[in-house]
Structure 1
Amino acid sequence: MSVPFHPLPDTRHTVDAATAPLFEPLRIGALTVPNRLAVAPMTRVSATADGHATPRMVDYYGAFAAGGFGLVITEGVYTDTAHAQGYLFQPGLADAVQRDAWRPVVARVHAHGGRIVAQLMHAGALSQGNPHRAGTMAPSAVLPKGRQMTFYRGDGPYRMPEPMSIAAIDAAVDGFAQAARHAQAAGFDGVEIHGANGYLLDQFLTAHTNRRDDGYGGGLVQRLRLTMEVVQAIRGAVGPDFVVGLRISQGKVNDFSHKWAGAEDDAAGVFGALAASSIDYLHTTEFEAWKPAFGDAGPSLAALARRHVSVPVLANGALHEGAHAAGMLARGEADFVSLGRGALTHADWPLRLRTGATLAPFDRALLAPIADLANADRLRRQG
């Protein structure tokens, strides 16, 4: 198995009172999740060159469900064979063959009692590995900050993107909707729209990467328009009972410290608009989820989201310590939490927390030189 799992006894009665709320079930739309612990989406660039999920990925995702996570969110999955793909060896949901390759992954997670959601992603200007198209597309011709990520096989600066035409925008929306249909047909319990971390939808939301003067640029409502259209298109494609979530952030993979210019006013505008959409949950991600979203004091981003939306809020960001994770729920800042580094370190993190077993620190060697499953396997063999 790519992520080893050693079963621990079910000792539910020994759960510490402070962390007990993490193990309560949660209703998300029409779906009941067994607990409040989710695996965060993490790029692993371990699919085939054609974007097909592999047996190693079946073991990888299945181990999280076997380890006690109630919800597994996949890595970002590209939505079309035009400009959506961000990384070489990234999995897709753009066609029927890619759809069918995910079926064993979904079946393995379900066999262990978990739920699984596919994160749908269009990389936009941050695409650094796409065999389908030579160039990149974005809201505007703005060179992305920073450099490509070497641990995802990138090299050098990002490329100057081509501004998207209305036809290209429509095609991207259609790609999200079609990928959602494929996810539903593959047996996934839902999809999560990737509107965070500097990828296409976030590029439209962010003023310095969106310099359009049409209906997709200008004020906050116009910059949110593409995200809202994607939500609407996906809901129309999958119907009312299939879970549709959305991930949103301030920071970006190439601009980690970015903050919304209008601070809490922008947060109110973003979350207020999303509250009127048909999403079933909202996933906020920050470096440290419990800290103030703006400045040295004030509410966290998750807490701000929870003020404005009536759907469950999923908080992400350095919550691999049980006290931090449980604290978000106890303070009413989130309804459930997602773990990245903690889940990579221990696929059975929930069972370890439940029993008081050791939780080791994250080893960054898991992500170097390439953040793929083969590298993780090599590291474990060496250990």
Structure 2
Amino acid sequence: MLKENVVLESVMLDQLPLKNRVVVAPMTRVSTKGDGIPTKTMEEYYRRYAEGGFGLIIAEGTYTDRSFSQAYPNQPGITNEQQQKGWEHIVHSTHEAGGKIILQLMHAGALSQHLSNTRSASCVQPIRHMLEGYSEKQGSFPLPQAMNLSEIDDVITGFSDSAIRAKEAGFDGVEIHAANGYLLDQFLTDYTNTREDQYGGSLKNRCRLTTEIVSSIKRLAFNNFIVGVRVSQGKVNDFDYTWPNGLLDGKLIFNSLKEAGADYIHFASEGKGFDHGCLTKNGESLPKLAREVTGLKVIANGGLDNVKEATRIIEEGHADLVALGTGALANPDWPIKLKNMKKILPFNPDMFSLGVSIEDQFNWENKNETAGL
């Protein structure tokens, strides 16, 4: 009898039992009608990952306040009763299909392609240009205003209130998006944070906003509710950035997150594979370091839809779980295919030829008859 692949083994994510180690990564799908309310199409999208056998689904980055957090037009929010109700339908459907689902909470900061009047850690214009396809805005990002302490308090309140709404909607937990160049990463990163107060200067201070958010949510959300944090070196507008002090920076960041009460760490490789985004400039594994210094479960992300690579990451101790993005888009039943030794399809970039929303994806799949289920 063949031994089951390690990625299909059951695992505990803190107190949450998962049937395997395969996670749907959070992906920007901009699929609401402009009101931030999750739709029936989104419900179908998330349900099929549960039906496809994924151990955990992390729903897309969701804005946390009506002031400055929204990143893209048609992005979902969880700031009012109507948005919360829309998510309740998705959670119920996902649970009904046997899945577990966590909601990623995010604040765009200076990388908003929805607002012209933006806020960030400091008055530093983001490098490079806006992402194409996610909004009508193109070209350079606007120069943000530096947040004052009252606005920082509002950010913490927004995340905390949104986490409570997520808990009330039935989610199994939330993931704090501190990666990929968005607001919390803008505070964390040296060249976007030139503050001289308690939120700037030392790396410990630059971690402060994220850790205060985690601590606040853990105080309010009580038991049986997971709070994870996603971090990365690279950003949507700076793929090649690495933490300047490598493992030393990683150790401080990871320990700070654990001390704040984080239940897991999700390490993402933005735009490129694991070996590009998850390693220091000296080739050392940051996800493995996170496991070693914190004892927390670690999710790794970045080009891991290849079975051999996903297996290697688990077997070599880099991570406890692997998160798939484009691999999940191409194979919404990836775990079932692996279990049944069926062919896993490569991602076809043409999937986004009609647009980046879920409706655009479904229309493309129907046209090309390539849906995995």
TM range (shorter): over 0.9
Match of 2:121 in 1: 139
Residue by residue, what CA displacement relative to the aligned partner does 1:217-264 show, whole Å, maximum 9, x if unpaired?
001011001011010111112113210000000000011111111122
Distance, in Å, in 2 between the alignment partners of 1:165 and 1:367 is 39
1:289–1:319: 8 Å Cα contact kept in structure 2? yes
Residue 93 of structure 2 is aligned to residue 108 of structure 1: yes
1:309 deviates by 1.3
Residue 98 of structure 2 is aligned to residue 98 of structure 1: no
Distance, in Å, in 2 between the alignment partners of 1:180 and 1:367 is 31
C-alpha RMSD over aligned residues = 1.4
Match of 2:152 in 1: 169
Distance, in Å, in 2 between the alignment partners of 1:221 and 1:312 is 22
Query: Which segment is superposed worse, 107-116 or 245-254?
Result: 107-116
1:151–1:367: 8 Å Cα contact kept in structure 2? no
Distance, in Å, in 1 between the alignment partners of 2:342 and 2:320 is 25
Distance, in Å, in 2 between the alignment partners of 1:239 and 1:29 is 14
Match of 1:349 in 2: 334
Residue by residue, what CA displacement relative to the aligned partner does 1:351-374 show, whole Å, maximum 9, x if unpaired?
111111111211112234531112
Gaps of 5+ in 2: 369-373
What is the letter of the counterpart of residue 329 of structure 2? L
Match of 1:182 among 141, 165, 168: 165
Secondary structure of the equivalent of 1:150?
Answer: coil
Normalising to structure 2: TM-score of the pair?
0.95
Secondary structure of the equivalent of 2:133?
Answer: helix
1:206 deviates by 0.2
Match of 1:284 in 2: 267
Length, aligned pairs only: 364
Match of 1:216 in 2: 199
Residue by residue, what CA displacement relative to the aligned partner does 1:145-166 show, whole Å, maximum 9, x if unpaired?
1111112113121111010010
Match of 1:241 among 210, 224, 229: 224
Match of 1:8 in 2: none
Distance, in Å, in 2 between the alignment partners of 1:309 and 1:367 is 38
What is the letter of the counterpart of residue 115 of structure 1? K
Distance, in Å, in 2 between the alignment partners of 1:333 and 1:209 is 29
Gaps of 5+ in 1: 1-12
Residue 193 of structure 2 is aligned to residue 193 of structure 1: no
Distance, in Å, in 2 between the alignment partners of 1:141 and 1:365 is 38
What is the letter of the counterpart of residue 56 of structure 2? L
Match of 1:6 in 2: none
Residue by residue, what CA displacement relative to the aligned partner does 1:251-300 show, whole Å, maximum 9, x if unpaired?
000111111111221112211222322111100012322566123x5432
Distance, in Å, in 2 between the alignment partners of 1:345 and 1:359 is 8
Distance, in Å, in 1 between the alignment partners of 2:267 and 2:258 is 14
Q: Counterparts of 1:252-291 in structure 2 under 5 Å?
A: 252-286=235-269, 287-290=272-275
Match of 1:374 in 2: 359
1:182 deviates by 0.4
Identity level (%):
40
Q: Where do 4+ consecutive residues of structure 1 move more than 4 Å?
A: none
